[in-house]
Structure 1
Amino acid sequence: MIDPVLLRENPELVKRSQELRGESSSLVDEAVEADAARRAAITAFETLRAEQNAFGKQVAKAPKEEKAQLVAQAQQLAQAVKDANHAATEAEAAFSAAVQRIGNIVIDGVPAGGEDDFVTLKTVGEIPAFDFEPRDHLEIGELLDAIDMTRGAKVSGARFSYLKGVGARLELGLMQMGLDRALAAGFTPLITPTLVRPEIMNGTGFLGAHAAEVYYLPEQELYLTGTSEVALAGYHADEIIDVSNGPIRYAGWSTCYRSEAGSHGKDTRGIIRVHQFNKLEMFSYIDPAEAEAEHERLLAWQEEMLQSLGLAYRVIDTAAGDLGSSAARKYDVEAWVPTQQAYRELTSTSNCTTFQARRLDIRHRTESGKTAPVATLNGTLATTRWIVAILETHQRADGSVVVPEALRPYLGGLEVLEPVAR
């Protein structure tokens, strides 16, 4: 949720942000009107309640013969206070609904537009060249007996898979490598719940435009998370935390679930876009003044992982219309996938400023002693999809795959993944 004071005092700034996102600026006018109605309703309630308190004292001091008439007036006043309280509650709910339709305020410099309007910030590494026809990751995975989509579909349906043998070891190795680096950077590891309550899912902003991608269990009123970011953000909900000595950082390890609604026919082959995968997510709570610097640090840790794995990649500044409601800026890191002759997103990192913290009521104490929302940031440090780029980039003509040197200790020293004879 955006800052109500900013909405009230600088609605034009909020409108510009909406326009950059390609969304309606009229939502801002509606929210401003709802805020005015909310404040008026609260003032009316507080005025009547003060009048009621003063009248109660008058009744207590009144002579006995006057009390009967005054009590009747007090009862009428009590009903008026009750009605005013109800009106204030409704006005508060109407404002909350209106303001939650507005995305986070986009940070200056984020490009306008949609999915194709990103700006490339850097390109790193050499695009691999082969003296043979490269295989795609699924063909390699089947040669290694590492990926089994057929049985995944048999058991669970389309876009499910088994990672088997070296495939399972490769994913676990990636996750452990990422966790070791997160620990070195001061992150506390968490294995998070993958089912969360509606108020937590809504608080992180995932029930907006992308709600159709979220699995929901209506009888239990629980959502399956598509990223441990949700549970990590909810960890300190309704709390005042201390970030005076620097950020509080968590590394969340979890299985993730996404329905991939609206992606029919897109990346249906292999494990690029599946319904279930594993992920190690960095998450930071920090003083808002330090959020942009922390965003650069998260990006640097992601780049170090990709460079250690010998992957060619680029970093893009995602356009405002492709940010999602919570992010004020998002960097995507896309690795080169040889058989697609294209860069594909492997990881991203988002600066959500105070948007999620306002919705989840996560605060810190400022130097003045008052409380204010913290900033939250997130970024993926390892996930199942990375296997795609690793297999394709490091493949050899005979179907074997060279294990990146930095990853070998996590595979028991294994240097080459060899095809399995059948």
Structure 2
Amino acid sequence: MGLILELLREDPEKIKESQRKRGFSETIVERVKELDKRWRTEKYNLDKARHKRNKLTRKIANLEGEAKQEIIEEAKSLSHEIEKTEEEVKQLEEKRNDLLFSIPNVLHESVPVGEDEGDNVPVKYWGRPKIRKKNAPVFEKETGGETPYAFWEFEPKDHISLLEKLGGADFDKAAQVTGSRFYYLTNDVVWLDMALLTYALDFMSSKGFTVIEPPFLLREAIMKGVLDLNEFKQAIYKIEGENLYLIGTSEHPLAALHSDETLPKDDLPLTYTGISPCFRKEAGTAGRTTKGLYRVHRFNKVEQFVFSLPENSWEWHETLLEHAEGILRELKIPYRVVNVCTSDIGAVAAKKYDIQAWMPGPGEYREVVSCSNCLDYQAVRLNIRYGEVKGGPAEGFVHTLNSTALATSRTIIALLENYQQEDGSVKIPRVLRPYLKPYQSAPKTQLVPLRQKENA
């Protein structure tokens, strides 16, 4: 029995409170509760009828003649009733589960109530952002004076201008041949993208995570298990004429890795890091950072994923956040952590942190990491349980957690803008340099503007 069904029977008010915080209707809770009550009643009647039939069947063996025939007829009649009740139980269960699965995850009590992403609550700042002098009063007000800062000695450029000077991307040609929100990465920025991926995999494997490159396509039934497909149908790509979707993140195929399995509890947690391209329509975001690398239809990402015992999942949520913070600290990119509010959290997570990197171009903190505890929301839908032995009797559903380790497109923005020099060159963080050193053509310590390269 999953957490939401358990709460429905024992503490429905907790689900209603979560619905209210999300701004959703509470009536669905009563509808599911009524269907569950009817299902339990019919299931009780079914079990009772089966038990009676079994008693009659045993009785037949000891009877003869007319008495035996009477019991046989009674058993036949009972079998017809059982068939009807079985169908009723099946239909009630399907109706109940369809409604039950449409209820979002039950929010953790610490999730702030809010109307949009502006109501996300900062919980931590790290680093010393460089800001424009004229923006100091606004920065101090927005951060509550909680983080130190330094001033730029020149006017910082945004990543689009820097990429143009570096010859690192071609957005116009990509738009011409494919459409908006696509890009060609070129020259040294391709090496930078590869170095970031390799570094992130190395970082996560050093934490004991198993490295996986998953399938990039998933069946619809699996997609329904890992996300609210009604909510995300406009955000992911479906293959025309196929029952397949392109993945929006490796979280989804990693979640499905143990579908329909009972995992030995002594093997938990299972920790994975996935590397994959991610494909997203970004529907409904017109006018929101449409140029550049920030909000694109395809990007590369390294993901963290954990299958945990229920009692350990909140500890793992904090651990995944620590890993993501550790990567940004090693890259020396200033950031803040926010507790994501009710309207921005989505249906699957019970609690979510975002990490927002400081981006000097726009002079804002912008999201580069999402870190979620999904409790048993995905496990119930994918039928992933735990027990004493693999495939044996189940004790309950596992909890699943996910977090970005590093998404290259947004990290490249943060690197270019924070490490830029007045001449348009960009220093490469020291932690990345070992991942570029083996390649003769790769940049080693800095990205140099194309014109300087040509004149060298």
TM-score, normalization: structure 2?
0.87
Which of 403, 407, 414 is the aligned partner of 2:432?
A: 407
Partner of 2:351: 329
Letter of the 1:346 counterpart: V
Instruction: Quickly say closer, same or farther: Cα 1:219–1:43, change in 2 above 3 A.
Output: farther
Q: Is 1:352 aligned to residue 377 of structure 2?
A: no
Distance in 2, matches of 1:416 and 1:241, equals 47
Partner of 1:6: 7
- Residues 2 and 102 of structure 1 are in contact (CA less than 8 Å); yes or no, is this contact kept in structure 2? no
SS of corresponding position for 1:391: helix
Partner of 1:280: 302
Distance in 2, matches of 1:40 and 1:153, equals 59
SS of corresponding position for 1:220: coil
Q: Is 1:385 aligned to residue 410 of structure 2?
A: yes
Q: Is 1:35 aligned to residue 36 of structure 2?
A: yes
- Residues 385 and 394 of structure 2 are in contact (CA less than 8 Å); yes or no, is this contact kept in structure 1? no
| 1:234-265 CA distance string (max 9 Å, x none) | 00111121343652100000111111111111
Indicate the percent of aligned positions where both proteins have the same amino acid: 36
Q: Is 1:397 aligned to residue 429 of structure 2?
A: no
TM-align CA RMSD: 2.0
Which of 304, 325, 341 is the aligned partner of 2:326?
A: 304
Distance in 2, matches of 1:366 and 1:121, equals 39
Q: Is 1:150 aligned to residue 176 of structure 2?
A: no
- Residues 243 and 285 of structure 1 are in contact (CA less than 8 Å); yes or no, is this contact kept in structure 2? no
Instruction: Quickly say closer, same or farther: Cα 1:376–1:167, change in 2 above 3 A.
Output: same
Instruction: Quickly say closer, same or farther: Cα 1:361–1:198, change in 2 above 3 A.
Output: same
Partner of 2:449: 419
- Residues 262 and 394 of structure 2 are in contact (CA less than 8 Å); yes or no, is this contact kept in structure 1? no
Deviation, structure 1 residue 229:
0.5
Deviation, structure 1 residue 32:
1.1
TM alignment of 1:247-286, pairs within 5 A: 247-286=269-308
- Residues 111 and 318 of structure 1 are in contact (CA less than 8 Å); yes or no, is this contact kept in structure 2? yes
Letter of the 1:315 counterpart: V
Distance in 2, matches of 1:376 and 1:355, equals 8
Distance in 2, matches of 1:58 and 1:307, equals 75
Deviation, structure 1 residue 64:
4.0
| 1:81-121 CA distance string (max 9 Å, x none) | 11111111101101111111111121121111232221110
- Residues 216 and 223 of structure 1 are in contact (CA less than 8 Å); yes or no, is this contact kept in structure 2? yes
TM alignment of 1:110-121, pairs within 5 A: 110-114=111-115, 115-121=117-123
Unpaired runs of at least 5, structure 1: none
SS of corresponding position for 2:156: coil
Deviation, structure 1 residue 416:
0.9
Unpaired runs of at least 5, structure 2: 131-150, 438-442
TM alignment of 1:17-416, pairs within 5 A: 17-65=18-66, 71-114=72-115, 115-128=117-130, 129-217=151-239, 219-244=241-266, 246-365=268-387, 371-383=395-407, 384-412=409-437, 414-416=444-446
Aligned residues: 421
Letter of the 2:424 counterpart: G
Distance in 1, matches of 2:347 and 2:388, equals 26
- Residues 119 and 319 of structure 1 are in contact (CA less than 8 Å); yes or no, is this contact kept in structure 2? yes
- Residues 117 and 319 of structure 1 are in contact (CA less than 8 Å); yes or no, is this contact kept in structure 2? yes
Letter of the 1:123 counterpart: Y
Letter of the 2:396 counterpart: A
- Residues 2 and 99 of structure 1 are in contact (CA less than 8 Å); yes or no, is this contact kept in structure 2? no
Deviation, structure 1 residue 47:
2.0
Distance in 2, matches of 1:91 and 1:287, equals 30
